[in-house]
Structure 1
Amino acid sequence: MQNWFKNIGPGPLVAAAFIGPGTVTVCTLAGVGFGYALLWAMLLSIIATIVLQEMAARLGVISQNGLAHAIRSEIKNPVIKAFAIILILSAIVIGNAAYEAGNISGGVLGLETIVGNSNITIAGFSINFLSIVIGIIAFVLLYLGNYKVLQNALVFLVILMSLAFLITAIITKPNFSEILNGVFIPKFPKDGMLTVIALIGTTVVPYNLFLHASLVKQKWHNKSDLKYARKDTLVAVVLGGLVSMCIIISAASIQTQDINSAADLAKGLEPLFGSFAKYFLAIGLFAAGITSAITAPLAAAYVATGCLAWSTNMHSKKFRAVWMLVLLVGILSASSGIKSIEIIKFAQVTNGILLPIIAGFLIWVMNKKSVLGAHVNNVKQNIFGIIILGISILLSLATLNKVFQLNLI
Structure 2
Amino acid sequence: MGKSLEEVHGSVATQNKKSAFRRVLAFLGPAYLISVGYMDPGNWATDIAGGSQFGYTLLWVLLMSNIMALLLQSLSARLGIVTQRDLAQASRETYSPFINYILYFLAEIAIAACDLAEVLGMAIGINLLFDIPLIEGVLITVLDTFLLLFLINKGIRKMEAFIIALVAIIGFSFVFEMVFAEPELDKVVLGLIPSIPNEAALYIAIGIIGATVMPHNLYLHSSLVQTRKFDRTEKGIKQALKYNLIDSTIALNLAFFVNAAILILAAATFYRNGMFHVAEIQDAHQFLQPLLGTKWAPILFAVALIAAGQSSTITGTLAGQIVMEGYLNLRIQPWVRRIITRLIAIVPAVIVIMIYGEQVTGKLLIFSQVILSLQLGFAIIPLIHFVSDKSKMKGFHIGKITQVAAWIIATTIVSLNAKLVYDEISGWIENAENPLVLWLTVVPLAIGFLALLLYIVFKPFIAKAKAKNYNHSPHNLTLKFSEKATYNKKDIAISVDFSEADENAINSAFELGGIEAKYTLIHVVETVGAMMYGENIQDHETTIDEKLLNEYKEMLIQKGFNVEIQLGFGKPGKVIPKIVNAGSFDILVMGTHGHTGFKDLLFGTTVDKLRHQISIPLFIVKK
Task: Output the TM-score relative to the length of structure 2.
Answer: 0.58
- Point out where structure 2 has 5 or more consecutive residues left out of the alignment: 1-20, 232-236, 430-446, 448-623
Instruction: Name 1:362's counterpart in structure 2.
Output: 383
Q: For 1:303 and 1:25, locate their aligned partners in 2 and report how far apart those are by CA, in whole Å.
A: 27
C-alpha displacement of 1:43: 0.8
Q: For 1:354 and 1:330, locate their aligned partners in 2 and report how far apart those are by CA, in whole Å.
A: 17
Given candidates 75, 88, 94, the residue that maps to 2:109 is 94
| 8 Å Cα contact 1:36-1:249 kept in structure 2 | yes
Q: For 2:311 and 2:195, locate their aligned partners in 1 and report how far apart those are by CA, in whole Å.
A: 31
Change (3 A) 1:25 1:93: same
Residue identity opposite 1:136 in structure 2: L
Instruction: Name 1:380's counterpart in structure 2.
Output: 401
| 8 Å Cα contact 1:91-1:350 kept in structure 2 | no
Change (3 A) 1:141 1:215: same
Q: Deviations over 1:247-303 (max 9, x none)?
A: 000011213134232221122111121211111211111111111222222212211
Given candidates 310, 322, 346, the residue that maps to 2:330 is 310
Given candidates 248, 258, 264, the residue that maps to 1:249 is 264
Q: For 1:349 and 1:238, locate their aligned partners in 2 and report how far apart those are by CA, in whole Å.
A: 25
C-alpha displacement of 1:114: 2.3
Residue identity opposite 1:137 in structure 2: D
C-alpha displacement of 1:188: 4.0
Structure showing greater radius of gyration is 2
Q: For 1:185 and 1:144, locate their aligned partners in 2 and report how far apart those are by CA, in whole Å.
A: 42
Q: For 2:406 and 2:128, locate their aligned partners in 1 and report how far apart those are by CA, in whole Å.
A: 41
C-alpha displacement of 1:197: 1.2
| 8 Å Cα contact 2:46-2:279 kept in structure 1 | no
Q: For 1:302 and 1:339, locate their aligned partners in 2 and report how far apart those are by CA, in whole Å.
A: 34
| 8 Å Cα contact 2:81-2:240 kept in structure 1 | yes
Instruction: Name 1:122's counterpart in structure 2.
Output: none
Given candidates 98, 110, 116, the residue that maps to 1:82 is 98
Given candidates 77, 87, 104, the residue that maps to 1:57 is 77
Instruction: Name 1:166's counterpart in structure 2.
Output: 175
**Equivalent residues in 2 for 1:25-36, closer than 5 Å:** 25-36=45-56
Instruction: Name 1:395's counterpart in structure 2.
Output: 416
Change (3 A) 1:205 1:170: same
Q: For 2:189 and 2:158, locate their aligned partners in 1 and report how far apart those are by CA, in whole Å.
A: 38
C-alpha displacement of 1:138: 4.0
Change (3 A) 1:118 1:3: farther
Q: For 2:355 and 2:401, locate their aligned partners in 1 and report how far apart those are by CA, in whole Å.
A: 44
**Equivalent residues in 2 for 1:62-211, closer than 5 Å:** 62-75=82-95, 78=96, 82-83=98-99, 85-118=100-133, 127-128=135-136, 130-142=137-149, 144-145=151-152, 146-211=155-220
Residue identity opposite 1:271 in structure 2: P
C-alpha displacement of 1:320: 4.5
Instruction: Name 2:426's counterpart in structure 1.
Output: 405
Instruction: Name 1:270's counterpart in structure 2.
Output: 289
Instruction: Name 1:260's counterpart in structure 2.
Output: 279
| 8 Å Cα contact 1:262-1:285 kept in structure 2 | no
Instruction: Name 1:240's counterpart in structure 2.
Output: 255
Q: For 1:35 and 1:306, locate their aligned partners in 2 and report how far apart those are by CA, in whole Å.
A: 43
Q: For 1:288 and 1:58, locate their aligned partners in 2 and report how far apart those are by CA, in whole Å.
A: 27
**Equivalent residues in 2 for 1:35-50, closer than 5 Å:** 35-50=55-70
SS in structure 1 opposite 2:394? helix
Q: More deviation in 180-189 or 227-236?
A: 180-189
Change (3 A) 1:364 1:238: same
Q: CA RMSD in A?
A: 2.7
| 8 Å Cα contact 1:348-1:399 kept in structure 2 | no
SS in structure 2 opposite 1:192? helix
Q: Deviations over 1:40-82 (max 9, x none)?
A: 111110000000000000111111110010111123xx3xx52
Given candidates 307, 325, 338, the residue that maps to 1:287 is 307
Change (3 A) 1:348 1:339: farther
- Point out where structure 1 has 5 or more consecutive residues left out of the alignment: 120-126
Instruction: Name 2:38's counterpart in structure 1.
Output: 18
Residue identity opposite 1:29 in structure 2: A
Residue identity opposite 2:400 in structure 1: V
Change (3 A) 1:215 1:99: same
Q: More deviation in 30-39 or 158-167?
A: 158-167
Change (3 A) 1:104 1:170: same
Q: Deviations over 1:211-262 (max 9, x none)?
A: 1101110134441322221111111111101110000000112131342322
Q: Percent identity over the alignment?
A: 25
Change (3 A) 1:400 1:112: closer
Instruction: Name 1:299's counterpart in structure 2.
Output: 319
Change (3 A) 1:346 1:70: farther
Residue identity opposite 2:71 in structure 1: V
Q: How many residues align?
A: 390
Q: For 1:203 and 1:345, locate their aligned partners in 2 and report how far apart those are by CA, in whole Å.
A: 13
SS in structure 2 opposite 1:54? helix
**Equivalent residues in 2 for 1:205-220, closer than 5 Å:** 205-220=214-229
Change (3 A) 1:393 1:176: same
SS in structure 2 opposite 1:372? coil
| 8 Å Cα contact 1:169-1:247 kept in structure 2 | no
Q: For 1:40 and 1:308, locate their aligned partners in 2 and report how far apart those are by CA, in whole Å.
A: 40
- The answer to which structure has the higher helix fraction is 1
C-alpha displacement of 1:144: 4.5
Change (3 A) 1:339 1:147: farther
Q: Which has the higher contact order (CA 8 A, sep 6+)?
A: 1
